[in-house]
Copies of this chain bind each other. A is one copy, B any other.
Amino acid sequence: MKNTKQKEVILEAVYSMKTHPTADEIYTELKKDYERLSLGTVYRNLNQFAEQGKIRKVTMPAFGDRFDYRLEEHEHILCEKCGKVFDIHVDVAISSEFEDFTVTGHQLLLYGVCKDCKHSGKHMNTGDGSVIF
């Protein structure tokens, strides 16, 4: 794999934008400084980094794929109002064998309404009465 300026700045962008950006958000951000950068290159490199385990790709229902520089085990919570994604640290212990499956990974996603959106006056659902995690 060759070292290119593009690879460098794309990876750096994921590290510095701590907001779980989409490919397009990264592209838009970098475009300011790198006029000729192409969206295809951003996608190509993000996917490559994810395969190499340098970053993580997180698929969100209805809000597109996000990229996350945090490699440690953690889960995500998605605000359904603003689409922002936050990290949460919960202990999800999964055996590597489960009902005839060899389990290689998992993803836990919580949905809800974040603090800011709660206070911004929009109507919201009530909780569903579930228990402490």
> A residues within 8 Å of B by Cβ?
57, 59-62, 65, 77, 79-80, 86, 88, 92-115, 118, 124-125, 127-133
Which residues of the partner chain B approach A100 to less than 8 Å between Cβ atoms? 114-115
On whether the beta carbons of B127 and A112 are closer than 8 Å, the reply is no
Determine the residue in chain B with the shortest Cβ distance to A93. Answer: B131
Q: How near does chain B come to A111, taking the closest CB pair, in angstroms? A: 5
On whether the beta carbons of A79 and B98 are closer than 8 Å, the reply is no
The 10 closest A-B pairs by CB, nearest first: A96-B127, A59-B61, A100-B115, A93-B131, A103-B112, A101-B112, A105-B111, A106-B110, A102-B113, A95-B132
On whether the beta carbons of A101 and B94 are closer than 8 Å, the reply is no
On whether the beta carbons of A104 and B93 are closer than 8 Å, the reply is no
